[in-house]
Amino acid sequence: MAKTNGEYDSLIEETGEQSDQKIDVPSELPVLMLRDIVVFPYMVVPLFVGREKSMKAIDEALSRNRMILLVSQKKMEVEEPKREDIYPLGTVALIMRMLKLPDGRVRVLAQGLIRARIDELIEDQPYYSAKISVVEEPEEIDMTIEVEALIRNVREGLDKAASLG
């Protein structure tokens, strides 16, 4: 059995509600490097994939547990990214659907689950993979008077900006 980083209950059901389902996050996952998007936990995004290594990473994720690490590239024009070409933090995502397109590309619908840090990028396989550690999200913020005042100020500022058009 693969080593895991723990269990997390961050899966959103089709109703849009967060489920109580526990998810084991493996300590090593295939990596999909993204050129023009940053994916955060709870986001559901369509991704169009054309690079050979990326398509093999998706195939590997689908043959395992449907989980993949989504990491953004620093520069879009880099075709074969190395460790220094990507950001150190990414998002573990669940591949919800995959569709092979007539032009050879793949369309994937993925849902971000939890943030993760790349401890080691493994480049010597037919696809990129990484040893990862989960980034713990802070617990709920204490709603002090100061925090409530800040929230109220932000809301008022947004209302004002929205009314300006």
Report the pLDDT value the prediction gives residue 129, as an integer from 0 to 100: 94
Residue 161, in any domain of the structure:
no
Residue 89, in any domain of the structure:
yes
Q: Give the integer Cα–Cα distance in Å for 57 and 65.
A: 12
Predicted confidence pLDDT, tens digits, the chain (165 residues): 344 555 544 454 444 444 555 678 889 999 999 998 999 999 999 999 999 999 999 999 999 999 999 999 999 888 888 899 999 999 999 999 999 999 989 999 999 999 999 999 998 889 999 999 999 877 777 788 998 999 999 999 999 888 887
Residue 165, in any domain of the structure:
no
Q: In this structure, what CATH number is given to the domain that contains residue 16?
A: 2.30.130.40
Residue 149, in any domain of the structure:
no
Which structural domain, as residue segments, surrounds residue 41?
4-139
Report the pLDDT value the prediction gives residue 36, as an integer from 0 to 100: 87
Residue 105, in any domain of the structure:
yes
The count of domains in the chain is 1
Q: Give the integer Cα–Cα distance in Å for 81 and 95.
A: 22
Residue 24, in any domain of the structure:
yes
Residue 157, in any domain of the structure:
no
Residue 12, in any domain of the structure:
yes
